[in-house]
Amino acid sequence: MRAGIDPARVPPGQYVTDRFPVLHAGIVPTIDLENWDLKVDGLVAETKSYSLAQVKAMPTVDHTMDIHCVTKWSKLDTDWHGVRVVDFIDGLEIAPAATHVLVGAEHGFTANLPLEDFVRPENLLAWEFGGAELELEHGWPLRLVVPHLYFWKSVKWLRSFTFLAADQPGFWERNGYHMYGDPFKEQRYWGS
Ligand SMILES: Nc1nc2c(c(=O)[nH]1)N[C@H]1C(S)=C(S)[C@@H](COP(=O)(O)O)O[C@H]1N2
Ligand SMILES: [Mo]
């Protein structure tokens, strides 16, 4: 543990880094901004589609958060700018039957979240990191940031939210990663 870091902020089995590793399945996508949209479907009163301009016109915030990757790096005090998930969903009528969200990205990448974990106040739809436009490899033009779960739930190249009445595994969750992924409980893989 490095000096000056509160050990309570670093989950078991993690090391702290100042680097920002790039990790994802497959290749970095080519983004077609002309045809880009963010879709909301599933258990909502109305299926919706947002342009990037519409998302960016919502109230914005700056959040400083610690992030924890299942490959064991943690990064403390990362600065993000974007729209809070709670503000984004404010205009949606989510059906009471909805319990989970399947988050979708370019290339069909997905990650699942319980609804209550999705709507936490710190969670962001972010397009800036460290005071600068998000880099393509880190999820530009828009990524989800859900800091209390392992970082694979923080979907890069965001394209959709599907509200569901049951949990459904996403990409990594079908490939050995834990359905929930609490870093402080070391919920890395199936059975952990
Ligand atoms: N669309 C998409 N988002 C993704 C992934 C992915 O493969 N595709 N990988 C996840 C994983 S495993 C991690 S650790 C983080 C890495 O984010 P970074 O490359 O910005 O560090 O992105 C997450 N979001
Ligand atoms: Mo990861």
What are the boundaries of each domain within the chain?
Answer: 7-185
Q: Is the pLDDT of residue 51 over 80?
A: yes
The b/e string for 77-102 (b: 16+ C-beta within 10 A; e otherwise) is ebebbbbbbebbbeeeebeeebebbb
Task: Take atom 1 of ligand 1 and give the residue whose Cα is closest.
Answer: 156
Kindly state the tokens that stand for 143.
Answer: 């990524």
State the closest ligand 1 atom to the C-alpha of 150, by its place in the atom list counted from 1: 14
Q: How far apart are CA 156 and CA 145, in angstroms?
A: 9
Residues near ion ligand 2 (CB < 5 Å) are 23, 69-70, 152
What is the dotted CATH code of the domain comprising 7-185? 3.90.420.10
Amino acid identity for residue 166 in this structure? A
Q: Are 92 and 33 in contact (CB under 8 A)?
A: no
Neighbours of 129 (CB within 10 A): 20
Q: List all residues whose CB is within 6 A of at least one atom of ligand 1.
A: 20-25, 69, 105, 109, 138-139, 151-152, 154-157
pLDDT band at 3 (very low <50, low <70, confident <90, very high): low
- Pocket probe for ligand 1: among 67, 79, 113, 156, the residue whose CB has the most ligand atoms within 8 Å is 156
Q: Which ligand is nearest to the CA of 67?
A: 1
- For 9-22, write each residue's pLDDT tens digit: 999 999 999 999 99
- Cα 85 from chain centre: 10
Average pLDDT, the chain: 96
